[in-house]
Amino acid sequence: MSGEQEFNLDIENFEEAINRLEEIVKTLEEGNIGLDEALQKFETGVRLSRYCNNKLTEAERKINMLIRENDGTFSVKPVNPTEDFNE
């Protein structure tokens, strides 16, 4: 593994990951920890950030918009994040 250790975040969901990430940011911003602990927390924070980003990307792929067609029927269309929904 070329120096890399197996790393398990041990989280159950997105909300837990966000909460842990916020705690890490707060701890790092306070600056009351040593360099080794700060580096460990930073690494964990990066992994949590990637986990959250992956979860958000996965959720975005699942979101669809229900569109009413001219004939009164409905169809499902993927959401375009740049589309203006007020039109």
Q: How far apart are CA 61 and CA 14, in angstroms?
A: 16
Highest mean pLDDT among 16-25, 53-62, 74-83: 16-25
Residue 87 has pLDDT above 70, yes or no: no
- Residue 26 sits at the vertex; the CA angle it makes with 21 and 30, to the nearest 5 degrees, is 150
Q: Is it the case that residue 81 has pLDDT exceeding 70?
A: no
pLDDT by residue (tens digit) across 8-45?
Answer: 788 999 999 999 999 999 999 999 999 999 999 999 99
Residue 85 lies in a domain: no
Decide if 49 is inside a domain.
yes
Note down the domain range covering 28: 14-68
Q: How many domains does the chain have?
A: 1
Instruction: Say how many C-beta atoms besides its own lie within 10 A of residue 19's C-beta.
Output: 13
Strand partners, 81: none
Q: Is there a contact between 7 and 47 (Cβ–Cβ < 8 Å)? A: yes
First to last CA, the chain: 53
